[in-house]
């Protein structure tokens, strides 16, 4: 399964992704209403098991925005009754395993390339925009519109954070590509950023306090009166998580010139979410942004996702003080460069050879991805693509 020649690249990819995944997992845990530690354990359990059993070599799994939003609604609906909530999570995983067994995953191949390109480019733009706050020494929350508005009214900049972030970005831009095979530029950047914040720019904002501790086993409960609603909630979560994961698999295929196994990926995601539910962890899916970070940082096989999860495990079991000294702005600099690299520049530059309708569709999906919602963007793009093609066929 693993080849020695890939281990070094997988280690770099997994390490960089773990640094990126840490604050996201904590934030998703808080957003869900269950707690930061649930998000962190979700990234660990799902991240490891989905990589171990899944069918996409370089995919990184963990709590995602769409899944967390649905989970927050479930938490409110069931009044924080953890036994009911995590019974739903376990059911979600089991339904995903059933999807894989029934070979439903094959239908993801019908997502058209303009939709994938618009989605990927939108992800790159989102990554860049949300890093403007941290690089200026601020934590800006909310949707992209909110972040852009808040950037306009910032009246205080943390100069130490800004200097560290700009130095990091400069290092990434001038770092010779041939050296990446020995030591990837994000790791050099991270190390220099930590030294700068510790010795020179001590007022730079660093990662906040990270919760630690082992998860507890959750007892389960499904009252007969609530069973239909619980099954429906689980089905929605499973469907959303499956679509989210398989779209990320397609994007990973395009970035690495490989081909994933959709049904195996669904089974891997299902196993991960089932075990997450057993231990009170947040469910998730294949995470597009983290997967692209992994790929751009060198991750090539399933091992990178497992390394990412094991490093997060190390943090939650006692290495948190080491992670807490990482300045936010150095992460922002790394992510701005990664976001720029993620944008599908080949498709953009090739617009003269594309159909006008396909190019307009790509821009439409890009806009929806950045300013509306990732899942809405993909579904709207697919529907619009097939409508346009049906109209064209009738006109011929």
CA atoms of 278 and 318, how far apart (whole Å): 23
**Count of other CB atoms within 10 angstroms of residue 89:** 28
CA atoms of 74 and 30, how far apart (whole Å): 14
Per-residue pLDDT at 3: 60
- Residue carrying structure tokens 């059993």: 53
Per-residue pLDDT at 153: 80
Helix (H, G, I), strand (E, B) or coil at 370: helix
Query: Structure pTM?
Result: 0.74
| Structure-token pair, residue 363 | 């821009």
In this prediction, the residues of the chain whose per-residue pLDDT falls under 70 are 1-5, 27, 31, 109, 141-142, 180-182, 184, 208-209, 323, 374-375, 396
Contact 329, 137 (CB under 8 A): yes
- The dihedral sign for the CA sequence 86, 87, 88, 92: positive
Contact 227, 291 (CB under 8 A): no
Residue 95's nearest CA partner among 210, 222, 206, 232 is 232
Per-residue pLDDT at 159: 93
Per-residue pLDDT at 2: 52
Per-residue pLDDT at 43: 95
Helix (H, G, I), strand (E, B) or coil at 301: coil
Per-residue pLDDT at 275: 96
Per-residue pLDDT at 265: 96
Contact 160, 135 (CB under 8 A): no
Q: Where does residue 265 rank: exposed (0-12), middle (13-18), buried (19+ CB within 10 A)?
A: buried
Which H or E run includes 274? Answer: helix 262-278
Hey, which residues does 285 pair with through a beta bridge? 62
CA atoms of 134 and 355, how far apart (whole Å): 39
Per-residue pLDDT at 297: 81
Per-residue pLDDT at 130: 81
Per-residue pLDDT at 309: 96
Per-residue pLDDT at 187: 74
| Structure-token pair, residue 307 | 């390394």
pLDDT, tens only, 73-106: 788 888 878 889 999 999 999 999 999 999 988 7
Helical residues (DSSP H) of 102-155, grouped into ranges: 113-130, 132-135, 144-152
């Amino acid at each position: 399964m693993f080849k020695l020649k890939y281990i070094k690249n997988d280690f770099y990819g997994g390490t960089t992704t773990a640094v990126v995944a840490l604050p996201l997992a904590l934030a998703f845990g808080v957003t869900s209403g269950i707690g930061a530690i649930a998000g962190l354990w979700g990234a660990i359990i799902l991240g490891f098991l989905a990589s171990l059993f899944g069918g996409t070599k370089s995919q990184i799994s963990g709590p995602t925005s769409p899944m967390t939003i649905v989970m927050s609604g479930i938490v409110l609906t069931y009044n924080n009754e953890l036994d009911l909530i995590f019974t739903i999570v376990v059911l979600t995983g089991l339904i995903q395993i059933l999807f894989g067994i029934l070979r439903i995953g094959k239908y993801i191949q019908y997502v058209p390339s303009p939709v994938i390109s618009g989605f990927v480019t939108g992800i790159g733009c989102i990554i860049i925009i949300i890093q403007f706050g941290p690089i200026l020494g601020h934590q800006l929350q909310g949707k992209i519109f909110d972040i852009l508005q808040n950037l306009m009214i910032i009246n205080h900049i943390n100069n130490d954070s800004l200097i560290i972030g700009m130095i990091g970005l400069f290092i990434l831009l001038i770092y010779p590509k041939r050296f990446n095979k020995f030591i990837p530029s994000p790791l050099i950047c991270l190390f220099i950023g930590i030294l700068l914040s510790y010795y020179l720019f001590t007022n730079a904002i660093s990662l906040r306090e990270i919760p630690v501790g082992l998860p507890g086993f959750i007892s389960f409960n499904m009252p007969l009166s609530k069973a239909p609603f619980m099954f429906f909630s689980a089905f929605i979560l499973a469907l959303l998580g499956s679509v989210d994961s398989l779209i990320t698999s397609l994007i990973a295929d395009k970035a690495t010139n490989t081909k994933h196994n959709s049904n195996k990926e669904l089974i891997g995601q299902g196993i991960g979410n089932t075990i997450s539910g057993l231990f009170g962890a947040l469910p998730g899916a294949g995470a597009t942004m983290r997967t692209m970070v992994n790929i751009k940082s060198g991750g090539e096989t399933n091992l990178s996702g497992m390394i990412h999860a094991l490093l997060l495990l190390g943090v939650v079991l006692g290495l948190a003080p080491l992670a807490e000294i990482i300045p936010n702005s150095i992460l922002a600099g790394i992510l701005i460069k990664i976001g720029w690299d993620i944008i599908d520049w080949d498709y953009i530059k090739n617009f003269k050879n594309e159909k006008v309708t396909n190019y307009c569709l790509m821009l439409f999906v890009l806009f929806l991805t950045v300013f509306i919602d990732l899942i809405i963007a993909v579904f709207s793009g697919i529907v619009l693509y097939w409508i346009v093609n049906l109209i064209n066929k009738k006109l011929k």
